[in-house]
Amino acid sequence: MNFLKEAYKVQAETIIKNLEKRNMQGFYADNKEEALEKFMTLINEDDVVAWGGSTTVDEIGVKKLLEEKNISVIDRDKAKSSEERVHLMKKALTADVFITSTNAITMDGELMNIDGAGNRLAAYNYGPDSVIVFAGMNKVVPELSAALGRVRSEATVPNAIRVNAQSPCRFTGKCSECTGDNSICCQILITRCSKPQNRIKVILIGESLGF
C-alpha cells in the first residue's frame, strides 16, 4: 500500500466536502492522466479556454490536450510583442474557461494565491464563466496562516526564477517582502467561496505538482 497516496485520498475527501460548503466543486484524481480526463468533462467543445502562468498546468499537459481536441484557446505565449501579450492577458478574462493552479489550499477549502501582474487573480475573481483549478496535493496546508508561509518559503523563489524576475528573493533564496518594481508578490488573494455557485472547480491530484 502506498501510504502517502492513501493519506492524499483521505485529505481530499475532507477538502472536497469543505469546498462544497464554499460553493465550489471539488474532485480528486489519482494522477495527471485522471485529472485530464476529469477536466474534459468540465468543458464544452465550443468553449474558449485561457490560462495564467502555471507550472502545474504545464506539467499536466493540458495545453497539448486542448490542441489535440481542437479547442479554441487564448495563448499569450504566442504573442509577437509585449503589447500583444498584455492584450491577450486581458482578453483571457473574457474566456469561457480559465485554467490555473493555486499557491496553497487549506483543509477547510480556502485558496490562497499571490501574483505579480494580477491577471491570474483577476480571473479568479471575475470574468471567465468557469475557473478550473489543478492542485497537486503538495499544495495542501492546514490553515490560512500556513498557506502564506508555504507560498513565501516554497513557491516564491522558484517562481521568481521561472519568470526571470529581478526581485531580491531571486538572488537570496528568501522572501524579503519587497515592494519595488521587481516584486512578483504584489497582490494576495484569498478565495473563501465561489459566486456564482460552482463557478470555481478544483481538481485535486494525488501527486506533487508545481510549487
| pLDDT digit string, tens, across residues 18-30 | 999 999 999 999 9
Please give the average per-residue pLDDT across 114-129, as a whole number. Answer: 95
Predicted local confidence at residue 125, as pLDDT: 96
Predicted local confidence at residue 99, as pLDDT: 98
What is the rounded CA–CA span in Å between residue 195 and residue 193? 7
Please give the average per-residue pLDDT across 162-174, as a whole number. Answer: 92
8 Å CB contact between 26 and 16: yes
8 Å CB contact between 117 and 89: yes
What is the rounded CA–CA span in Å between residue 136 and residue 20? 19
pLDDT at 73 over 90: yes
Please give the average per-residue pLDDT across 103-129, as a whole number. Answer: 96
Predicted local confidence at residue 178, as pLDDT: 92
Please give the average per-residue pLDDT across 151-179, as a whole number. Answer: 91
Residue with cell 479568479: 124
pLDDT band at 80 (very low <50, low <70, confident <90, very high): very high
Predicted local confidence at residue 22, as pLDDT: 98
pLDDT at 180 over 90: no
DSSP letter, residue 45: T
Q: What is the DSSP string of 148-202?
A: HHHIIIIIHHHHHHHTT--STHHHHSS-----STT-S--EEEEE-S-SSTTSEEE
Please give the average per-residue pLDDT across 120-137, as a whole number. Answer: 97
Residue with cell 521587481: 182
- Cα–chain center distance at 127: 16
Predicted local confidence at residue 1, as pLDDT: 79
Predicted local confidence at residue 57, as pLDDT: 96
Please give the average per-residue pLDDT across 125-130, as a whole number. Answer: 97
Min mean pLDDT across 43-57, 107-121, 146-160 is at 146-160
What pTM does this model have?
0.95
What is the rounded CA–CA span in Å between residue 66 and residue 71? 5
Q: What is the average pLDDT score of the chain? A: 95
What is the rounded CA–CA span in Å between residue 113 and residue 135? 12
